[in-house]
Each structure stands twice: as structure tokens, then as C-alpha cells.
Amino acid sequence: MSEITLKDALDTLKQSGVRITPQRHAILEYLVTSKSHPTADEIYKSLASNFPNMSVATVYNNLRVFLSVGLIKELTYGDASSRFDFITHDHYHIICDDCGKIVDFHYPGLEEVEQLAAHITGFKVNSHRLEVYGTCPTCLAK
């Protein structure tokens, strides 16, 4: 599946009846270009200098809008803060135990696991989640 572009994301918002404010555009653009799975606070800190009247609540509210129209996924890994991922197609994450860095990877063989689980249990499988934990190259080099 090809990655969605900023223009596609803005079109999706417009089609959903969501008004495109400068703050909303900036938050969405940050998510599209970010490879780091940012928290709302990280997004806020990155954009605050360009939008001095923007609050953390504005960032959270816009993230909820993006979630509701399916543009982003919320990632929760047991810590207090959610991270947000613009890539919404099925993929997996490897997470550094030391610094918390999250990196995407895709492994199509895991789709067979859903089919097998459905066949064995009779469940209708809606989704699955895979997390791999380790130490990233940067932390290993320290």
C-alpha cells in the first residue's frame, strides 16, 4: 500500500467536514514528515515557536480529530504517554528498551497468524499487534 501524502490527508479532512486551520495543518504536516512516533507534548514543543497561542490541549484535540477520521493511530505501550503514528496500514514496531525509540517494520507473514487464529478458534479477527523490544544501535554504541 502506498503511503498517504499530506495533500491526501488534507483532502480526507475536508471530505469529513473538518475545517483546515493553520494549527491543524501544521500538526498534520509534522505527523506526515515525522518518523519518530511523537507524543502530543513533542508535537507541541516542536510547533510552539511558530504558533505561540497554541496550547497542548489544541494538539490533543486535533490528534483526536485525526484519530476519528482514521488518519493516525494511537500507540500505547504501558507508559503514561501515547505516541501517534501517521502510517495506519498494518505494520509492526521495534522499541528500544533504553531510549524508547520506535522503528517501523513490515512482515507480511504475520497476516497468516490472523487467519490461523480465526480458523482454530472460530473468532472473527479484527486486528493484531506485535511489538518487539531490544536495544537500538545508538544505545548499543554508548
Antiparallel, parallel or unpaired: β 131-134 and 92-96: parallel
Domain assignment of residue 115, yes or no: yes
Q: Which residues are annotated as a binding site for Zn(2+)?
A: 96, 99, 136, 139
Residues 24 and 72: their CA atoms lie apart, in Å, by 13
Residues 134 and 124: their CA atoms lie apart, in Å, by 32
Q: Which of 85, 108, 128 is at the close of a domain?
A: 85
Number of folded domains in the chain? 2
Same domain, 79 and 21: yes
Same domain, 81 and 100: no
Give the model's pLDDT for residue 79.
65
CB 118 within 8 A of CB 125: yes
Domain of 31 in residue numbering reads as 6-85
Q: Which residues are annotated as a binding site?
A: 96, 99, 111, 128, 136, 139
List pLDDT tens digits, range 38-77: 999 999 999 999 999 899 999 999 999 999 999 999 988 7
Q: Which residues are annotated as a binding site for Fe cation?
A: 111, 128
Q: How far are the Cα atoms of 11, 15, 42, 52, 105 from residue 39, in angstroms, in the given order?
A: 24, 26, 5, 19, 20
User: Whole-number mean pLDDT of the chain?
Assistant: 88
Percent of the chain with pLDDT over 70: 95
- CATH label of the domain that carries residue 111: 3.30.1490.190
